[in-house]
Structure 1
Amino acid sequence: MEELARLAGITVRTLRFYRERKLLPPPRREGRIAWYDDHHLARLRTIAALLERGHTLNGIAELAEALEAGRDVADLLGVGTPTEEEPVRLTPEELAARFEGEVTPENLAAAMELGYLGTDGDQIVHISRRLLDVSSALVREGIPLAEVLAAGARVRAHVDDLAEMFAALILRHGTEADLQRLRPLARSVVEAELSLALDRRLRKDKEPENEQQV
């Protein structure tokens, strides 16, 4: 315990306090000897980083509870499932830095429910670098993370329908291998249609202004 506290830059008294608050998992015991490992040191460094970012110990405990209740990364990603998305591994403090002030137990639970996040030991895995980058960019623009996640849930429902429609079209005339090979075409159709839909939406916003000018 003294060695772990020294490596983490805290006192033994603080370490005991964290254990009492269940912020730190118990050590592995062999008789009267308690063994701490890199997992415990990583957890202590995460606690320190989150405290520096303004999280309270109660908030950190709730975050830890939400993470421990989250889906395992193997279940999240699916073994052998083909994907064009690049998963991203993050420490809890890196996630907090991405979404400054927005990492709450409620938002964590929502992201895990959507299947955006999974856990792998002391690391968090986001299923898609593109989704991570876009969602953090929207939060930096002032949109609350809770609203970004709610929008993501609505998008998920629509794109599931689109995927089923495209898959049915291809499989009526081909195989699963064709579906995998032609998936970039489906993505291009969706991206182009969304771009055109945004064009129509922007023109709609400008119509009253144009009518006034006439």
Structure 2
Amino acid sequence: MEELAREAGITVRTLRFYRERKLIPPPRREGRIAWYDATHLARLRTIAALLERGHTLSGIAELAEAFDHGRNVAELLGLGAPTEEVPVRLSPEDLADHFGDQATSENLSAALDLGYLATDGGEIVHVSRRLLDVSAALVREGIPLADVLATAHRVREHADALAALFTDLILTQPGHTTEDLARLRPLAKSVAEAELSMALDRRLQQSTNT
């Protein structure tokens, strides 16, 4: 404990307090010896970074609990690894930089449930850089992250329905296989993008007329 506290630049008393608040996971024990590793040190440095960004210890504790109970990367990729999206590795302080005080345990849990985030040791992995960038841009425009994530759930439902339509269109044709589906997926994306663009045009026109 003394070695860990020294490496983290805190007192043993502070470290004990963090342990009591369950801000760090318990050590591995061998008899009367408690072993701490790089994961504990990384968590302590994350706590320090979040405190510097204005987060409270209560908020950090909620974030830590969400991290510890989130799906790991293996579980997430087991649901179907993205073939085109680029995953992004993040630290908790990176999330704070992207979303400020909206990087709450509630929003983190919602993102975990949605499958946007997974955990990998002391790191967080976002499954799509594009979705991360869009979410952060919407928050910078003043849209609450909770609303962004709630809308993402609805978008997911519509996207699944569109994917099912295109899959049925291809695979119900004689002689067509999943290889054809993969080869023709850019066509489905082009149709979806064009239709969404025209739908937005119609919405803008309606808003102008009213």
| TM band (smaller chain) | over 0.9
Match of 1:86 in 2: 86
Q: CA deviation at 1:82?
A: 5.4
- CA deviations 1:25-79 (Å, max 9, x no partner) are 1222223322211100000011111111111111111111112221121111227
Structure 1 equivalent of residue 37 of structure 2: 37
Q: Which residue of 1 aligns with 2:196?
A: 194
Task: Answer yes or no: is the 8 Å Cα contact 2:82–2:127 preserved in 1.
Answer: no
User: Over aligned residues, Cα RMSD in angstroms?
Assistant: 1.4
**TM-score, normalisation: structure 2:** 0.94
Q: Distance in 2 between matches of 1:163 and 1:29?
A: 50
Question: What residue is the counterpart of 1:172 in the other structure?
Answer: 172
Residues paired across the two proteins, number: 208
- The 3-state SS of whatever aligns with 2:55 is coil
Alpha-carbon distance in 1 for matches of 2:78, 2:195: 29
> Are the equivalent residues in 2 in contact too, given 1:7–1:41 (CA < 8 A)?
yes
Could you tell me how far apart the structure 1 residues matched to 2:111 and 2:89 are? Answer: 15
Cα distance in 2 for partners of 1:143, 1:82 equals 27
1:36-185 matches, cutoff 5 A? 36-78=36-78, 81=81, 83-173=83-173, 174-185=176-187
Q: What residue number does 1:11 align with? A: 11
Q: Deviations over 1:166-190 (max 9, x none)?
A: 0010111210011111111111111
* Aligned residue type for 1:175: T
Q: Which amino acid aligns with 2:106?
A: E
- Which whole-Å CA distance do the structure 2 matches of 1:8 and 1:95 have between them? 21
Can you give the 5+ residue segments of structure 2 that lack an aligned partner in the other structure?
none
CA contact (8 A) 1:77 1:127 kept: no
Higher deviation after alignment, 157-166 or 194-203 = 194-203
Q: Which amino acid aligns with 1:92?
A: P
**Which blocks of at least 5 consecutive residues in structure 1 are unaligned?**
209-214
Question: How far apart, CA to CA, are the structure 1 residues paired with 2:108 and 2:131?
Answer: 15
Percent identity between matched residues is 73
| Shift of residue 118, structure 1, vs aligned partner | 0.9
Matched to 1:131, the amino acid is L
Distance 2:151 2:80 in 1: 29
CA distance in structure 2 between the partners assigned to 1:113 and 1:160 by the alignment: 16
Q: 1:60 to 1:103 in 2, by over 3 A?
A: same
1:112-132 Cα deviation digits (max 9, x unpaired): 111111111111111111100
Distance 1:22 1:184 in 2: 47
Superimposed CA distance per residue, residues 72-131 of structure 1 (whole angstroms, 9 cap, x where no aligned partner):
211112277452111111111111111011011111111111111111111111111110
Between the aligned partners of 1:151 and 1:52, the Cα distance in structure 2 is 31
Equivalent residue of 2:124, what SS?
strand
Q: Distance in 1 between matches of 2:209 and 2:120?
A: 51
Counterpart of 1:207 in structure 2 is 209
